[in-house]
Structures are given as structure tokens and as C-alpha cells.
Amino acid sequence: MLATIGYLGPKGTFTKLAVDAAFNGEHKESYATIPECIDAVEHEEIDIAVVPLENAIEGTVQLTVDYLVHQVRLPIVAEIVVPIQQHLLVQPTFQGSLGDITEVHSHSHAIAQCHQYLHQSLPEAKIQYTTSTGKAAEIVSKSDLSIAAIGNKLAAEVYGLKLLQENIHDYSNNHTRFVVLCKDETKLKIKHPVSIEKTSMLISLPSDQAGALHQVLSAFAWRKMSLSKIESRPMKTGLGNYFFIIDVDQPYDDVLFPGVKGELEALGCNVTIMGTYPVYKLTI
């Protein structure tokens, strides 16, 4: 049976572009928010969820990380990385200039990727945040002419908008990582070459222990395990309490990882493996 894949929608989001690039032939279902999409896998209404995790310009999508850590612990089974190009979209009958645009709608990450552009080219426009870039395009397609969206070419096509200005993101090397979440890995079929394999770990430190983070990093360092990301997020239990997400550039194995885990647990850390997974770098 074909797997059903949920994605942050509606149609015309970058998540949909990532899903289309990675998967072929599966049923695809759009969800209005990241939590709704993750919940749908948790409640087994769909098999797979694809949600954004990190952008090269704006950093982590906090909603995704926090939901996976605090609400629904689904394993990460794959990662899809795609290039991101942001465009200014308006209704096809718009004939004015940039100065005529009174509002710009988009997802907070897309707005952040275009801060300089907005500051310099549309300083008077009011920023309106939406649940996705696709949603912003949908809103603009139903609004009056002075409203623009930031989004991709698929959104322009789906909602009948025109590109008033292309490539408005502030830095050219713009990519987003999307995580694939799934309870039953046998349902996952991505037929693309694997770029690398990674393992994501969630580590909380013992409170008030001098040098704890240094000791955590040492456990990886002396085993020569290369880390590609370390990020702290609040545990939401009080000021000063953090957990760390650490990405290791190698798949889980039965020697090094249990060794690290045992060593860190002996220090009083809590260690959870969030997933060990292939990374697919794709074009859209």
C-alpha cells in the first residue's frame, strides 16, 4: 500500500517542494501547522510527516524542535535539504511599484531571510506573519492589489500570482533542512543518493555542575566523532535550564554511541537518540 505523507501546507510551500523532490507516487496531504502534521503521524492518520527544521540564514525552526522534544517524540528517519529562493509575489493585475505595497505576508522564517530587502525596498510595508509561505500566497490571491507575499514559484503558479521581484533573500547560499518523521521505517522509500548519514541526540546536563558541557563534548572528541551542530534550547522548567541538541556526522553504531551514552549518563546527563538517518541533498 502507498504511504501517505503529510507536509506543512497548503499547496505551494517549500515543504511541499521538498516532498515532491524526495517522494514519488505517494499520497500527499497538507496540514496547516507543524504540530497538526506531527500529530497526524502520532495518531496514525498518516504514515510520514515532513516538516522544516533549520534554515541556513535564520537557523532552527523552534516550533519543530520544541514540539518534537516536549510534545511528540517521533523518530527522525531522514533529512531532506533543498535550496530556498524567495520571491515577492503579487496579484497578476498589479501594475504599481514597490511603494504601492502596503502589506507583506509570509512565514516568519521567510520574512527573516529577506530582512535587509524589506528594510531597504519596502520600509513602509506592514509585515503580516502566516503559518507558511503557501498560506501567504493564498491570502494575497484573495486580497486587494496592494498586498504581497514572500514565497516560491510553485506558490505563484498554484495561486495565480506574478513574481514582482525574484531572489529577494539576503544571502545567496540559502538552504532549508526538512526532517522526515515516521513510526514504521519500512514505509519510507526515498530513491535518491544519500549524501551523508547523521545521528541527532538530545542531551540534558546535570544542574550546577562546573565544566559539564566541556565533559560532554570531550566524550565525542576523544572518540573522534565529528559534530555538525550543537544548539541549546530552554527546558521550559525555569531560567537557566537547557537541553542540547547535538548532530553527529555518522550513523548510530553499537560501540561508539553506547560508549558516549554510558559516559554521559555517568556524569548525570540524560541522553536520548532522536534519530539516525540518511541525508538527501536535492534540487527543486
Ligand X SMILES: O=C(O)C(=O)C[C@]1(C(=O)O)C=C[C@@H](O)C=C1
Cα torsion through 67, 69, 75, 78, rounded to 10:
70
Looking at 31, 40, 81, 134, which residue binds ligand X (CB under 6 A)? 134
Q: Under the criterion CB under 6 A, does residue 158 sit at the interface with ligand X?
A: no
Q: Under the criterion CB under 6 A, does residue 8 sit at the interface with ligand X?
A: yes
- Written as nine digits, the cell of 4 is 501517505
* Rounded distance between C-alpha atoms, residue 245 and residue 247, angstroms: 7
Q: Which residues contact 172 (CB under 8 A, 6 or more apart)?
A: none
Q: What share of the chain is helix, strand, coil (3-state, %, to 5)?
A: 30, 35, 35
Backbone φ and ψ for 65, nearest 5 degrees, come out as -60, -50
Q: Under the criterion CB under 6 A, does residue 84 sit at the interface with ligand X?
A: yes
Q: Under the criterion CB under 6 A, does residue 110 sit at the interface with ligand X?
A: yes
Minimal distance in Å, beta carbon 151 to ligand X?
7
Q: Under the criterion CB under 6 A, does residue 133 sit at the interface with ligand X?
A: yes
Decide: helix, strand or coil at residue 22: helix
Q: Under the criterion CB under 6 A, does residue 52 sit at the interface with ligand X?
A: yes
Q: Comparing C-alpha atoms, which of 80, 253, 104, 256 is closest to residue 180?
A: 80
Residues 161-180 that bind ligand X (CB under 6 A): 176
- Dihedral sign for Cα 187, 191, 193, 195, please: negative
Q: Under the criterion CB under 6 A, does residue 107 sit at the interface with ligand X?
A: yes
- Written as nine digits, the cell of 49 is 510527516
The label of the residue with cell 501567504 reads: 136
Of the ranges 90-98, 102-110, 217-225, 272-280, which one interacts with ligand X (CB under 6 A)?
A: 102-110
Q: Comparing C-alpha atoms, which of 54, 61, 74, 70 is closest to residue 6?
A: 74
Minimal distance in Å, beta carbon 232 to ligand X?
20
Of the ranges 40-48, 127-135, 162-170, 259-267, which one interacts with ligand X (CB under 6 A)?
A: 127-135
Q: Under the criterion CB under 6 A, does residue 109 sit at the interface with ligand X?
A: yes
Number of residues located near ligand X, criterion CB under 6 A: 15
Of the ranges 103-111, 120-128, 215-223, 257-265, which one interacts with ligand X (CB under 6 A)?
A: 103-111
Q: Under the criterion CB under 6 A, does residue 6 sit at the interface with ligand X?
A: no
Cα torsion through 273, 278, 283, 284, rounded to 10:
-60
Minimal distance in Å, beta carbon 204 to ligand X?
25
Minimal distance in Å, beta carbon 228 to ligand X?
18
Of the ranges 107-115, 117-125, 210-218, 250-258, which one interacts with ligand X (CB under 6 A)?
A: 107-115
Minimal distance in Å, beta carbon 52 to ligand X?
4
* Residues of the shown chain interacting with ligand X in the complex, contacts defined by CB under 6 A: 8, 13-15, 52, 55, 61, 84, 107, 109-110, 132-134, 176
